[in-house]
Amino acid sequence: MKKLLVSIQEKPQVYPIIIGEDLIATVDSLFDFGKYSKIAIITGKNIPKKWLTELQKSLPFESFHILVPSSEKGKTIDTVINIWNQFQKLGMDRKSLVINLGGGVICDMGGFAASTYLRGIDFLQIPTTILAQVDASVGGKTGINFNNIKNYIGAFQQPIGVVIDVNTLSTLPERVYIQGFAEIIKHGLIADRVYFDFVTSKKPKDFNTSELTQMLAKSNEIKRKIVEEDQKERGIRKIVNFGHTIGHAIESLSFETDTPFLHGEAVLLGMIVETKISELTDLLPAEDAAIIYERLSRLGLPVSVGKIKGEDIMKKIKTDKKVVKGQVNWTLLNSIGRAIYNQKVDDKIVEKALATVVK
């Protein structure tokens, strides 16, 4: 039986973010799919087949599905071209719908493919990982990697809705499950100290379904309010980038190794470094920094970049999307629960902060 727990309306283009149990199997009751000419489901090769089967059974008419790589290495223009080709072969028109069923890679890439095909067709996000449920599926950012740079090509395009079925989390590998908490913790760090204390009060696997649902709702509410105020990331939305300037550099460099980091793992490393930058620039009190280091270190995620070199991270930072006229615009912390953006930082301070994760 469907159990609807939360429904959040997002602006400026209003669409629902629906959180609950057994939603995939009953998704037809949530949206008017009858108005679409065709439906294509984009999903990953590693997504449990049961979710695709449940989704297809719930739709009012036969749908098609397109299997694509779920890893960051496959999040490329070549994969998107393959998706476009399949759209064309299926006869997808401007009245067609794309449903993205999977993690962050699927939501980012599928959203980009839909937002650029025929100058944009509707898409629905059904994220199946914690990371995607609190980050990639919400806010209208779509994109792909380019030349080993994370999310370098993309577009802002809002979905018709986001359906978060918490049942999908029961099929996640433990490593994938835990890494999603990096983005949850980030929301507390940038916007709500009470929330930060709650989400770091236990190890990720120790939270029950009810508590996890509260987190998903609260993280979405935090991000919704930020995006509502600044859809195109010209101002306040930049605070959600905390941990991502360093994190994306580490993640991109790890693509070239045999042991790539997951996105949440790289973001956690980025938050450690950017917390240190905040401390070294006298923006963040040392006592707050100490609390952050301690909480992040007990999450169960890597706290060292391994064989990646500090100088390579410094070079990769310069290719970040947030670089303007050669200057990185940093998002840093003033306190736990308060972030500030467009901060200029001397490279020597960044190099010193990197020593916290470069061993």
List active site positions.
119, 141, 183, 223, 233, 237, 241, 244, 248, 263
Q: How far separated are the first and last CA of the chain, in Å rounded?
A: 51
Here the tokens at position 213 are: 């649902």
d(CA 100, CA 48): 14
Distance, in Å, from the CA atom of 165 to the CA atom of 19, rounded to the nearest integer, reads: 6
Q: At what angle do helices 347-354 and 263-280 cross, to 10 degrees?
A: 120
- C-alpha closest to that of 176 among 103, 250, 125, 127: 103
Residues belonging to the chain: 359
Residue 25: which residues within 8 A CB-CB, separation 6 or more?
Answer: 2, 54, 55, 57, 58
| Structure letter (DSSP) for residue 176 | H
Around Cβ 118, how many Cβ atoms within 10 Å? 14
Question: In sequence order, which ranges of the chain are alpha helices (DSSP H)?
Answer: 49-58, 77-90, 104-116, 130-131, 174-179, 181-191, 193-199, 209-229, 244-254, 263-280, 286-297, 310-317, 347-354
DSSP track, 42-90: EEETTS-HHHHHHHHHHSSS--EEEEE--SGGG-SHHHHHHHHHHHHHH
CB atoms within 10 A of CB 47: 19
